[in-house]
């Protein structure tokens, strides 16, 4: 007869749930970093952020920054920016009344 402690299974479930949650946060952070890097290199004006500055801030190498994001990430940033422009349109200058 095999005896098990009654709290082993629930503790294991809590542990596995915590690990899965941590993995999800890690994946979300990685996606956030890719999108931020894509924005910094492809959409910031008047010029892209310097690779060295991004590498230092992200804790990556310069070559890692160059390959950190994909065309799909660039498209995702473009979609997010378009949605923001729709939600928050630029104010139009009011006509001057004389």
Q: Which domain holds residue 25?
A: 20-86
Asked if residue 44 is part of any domain, the answer here is yes
3-class secondary-structure state, position 88: coil
Q: Is residue 9 part of a domain?
A: no
Summarize the confidence of residues 53-78 as an average pLDDT.
Answer: 97
Q: Does residue 4 lie within any of the structural domains? A: no
Q: Which two tokens stand for residue 33?
A: 């970093």
Alpha-carbon gap, residue 43 to 36, rounded angstroms: 10
Looking at the chain, the whole-number percentage of residues with pLDDT higher than 70 is 85
Q: What are the distances in angstroms from CA 64 to CA 38, 44, 47, 92?
A: 13, 19, 20, 41
What's the domain count of the chain? Answer: 1
pLDDT in tens, 4-40: 555 556 777 999 999 999 999 999 999 999 999 999 9
Q: What is the pLDDT of residue 95?
A: 61
Global pTM reads: 0.77
Among all chains, which residue has been given the structure tokens 């994001």? 69
28 lies in a domain? yes
- In angstroms, rounded to a whole number, what is the distance separating the alpha carbons of residues 32 and 29? 5
């Amino acid at each position: 007869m095999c005896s098990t402690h009654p709290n082993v299974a629930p503790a294991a479930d809590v542990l596995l749930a915590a690990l899965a949650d941590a993995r999800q946060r890690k994946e979300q952070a990685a996606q956030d970093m890719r999108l931020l890097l894509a924005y910094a290199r492809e959409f910031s004006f008047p010029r892209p952020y310097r690779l060295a500055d991004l590498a230092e801030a992200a804790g990556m190498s310069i070559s890692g920054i160059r390959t950190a994001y994909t065309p799909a990430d660039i498209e995702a940033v473009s979609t997010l920016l378009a949605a923001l422009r729709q939600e928050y349109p630029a104010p139009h200058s009011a006509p001057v009344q004389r």
